[in-house]
Amino acid sequence: MQLASVLPILYRLLQPRFSNCLWSGDDNSRAIALTFDDGPHPRYTPELLAVLDRYQIRASFFWLGACVNRSPEIAKAICDRGHWIGLHGYDHQSFPLLSPIQLRDTLEKTQAAIYTACNLPPEQVRDVRPPNGLFTPKILKYLLQWNYRPVMWSVVPVDWTRPGISTVTQRVSQQVKNGSIIVLHDGAYGGQDVAATSEILIPQLLQKGYQFVTIDTFWQPVKIKNS
């Protein structure tokens, strides 16, 4: 079974078990969130940004601190347009492989990079998406203790394997529903197609009556459990 087929099943299994994570928004609302991981990238992210500008869409970006340090001007351009910014670790190391000290360090280094590039203070950048979507209950406990907010997903078309733009857009169209959190990538893996994919997806979803919002909108009705 392909990963693209497994992920929707995992979502249904994990969402109720790990309710401290944000998996989706309100299923009674047509609001959806378009999110991008692994950037900013010096080539792919500006191409994507042009598409978002054209449709006046605000998205959410989960950044790698190393990439922010390499492309601070692109990071600032994204922030200046009002897109939402979250953390994806400093260099995409899987969180379960890190000690608590290393985990906190990778998040704080990324916050520091974002502050330098965008002047966003750390307390405003506390949404965290674990690289590869991998976490443990202990990791979630640490994130909550440190006042971070874990963000997951409900629609993952596995674009980083580059199955083709039409395949990615078809997977999203088949899975999207009210409150969906869609994950695409604007980094080294998958970013080659992200602008072209978004150019097709955004008008399709708008035509279906969906409204694009940023991740912070989905947190508003959510009560975090500190246990």
Catalytic residue among 37, 38, 186, 193: 37
Q: Which residues contact 73 (CB under 8 A, 6 or more apart)?
A: 117
Half-sphere exposure of 207 (CA within 13 A, CB side): 6
Q: Which has the closest alpha carbon to 182: 149, 209, 218, 146?
A: 218
In degrees rounded to 5, what are phi and psi of residue 67? -70, -35
- Gyration radius of the chain over CA positions: 16
List 61's β-bridge partners, or say none: 36, 85
Distance CA 65, CA 67 (A): 5
H-helix segments, the chain: 3-17, 44-55, 65-70, 72-80, 100-118, 137-145, 165-175, 194-207, 215-219
**159 catalytic residue (yes or no):** no
**185 catalytic residue (yes or no):** yes
Q: Provide the 8-state DSSP code for 122.
A: G
Distance CA 75, CA 115 (A): 10
Catalytic residue among 88, 185, 186, 193: 185
Residues designated as active site: 37, 185
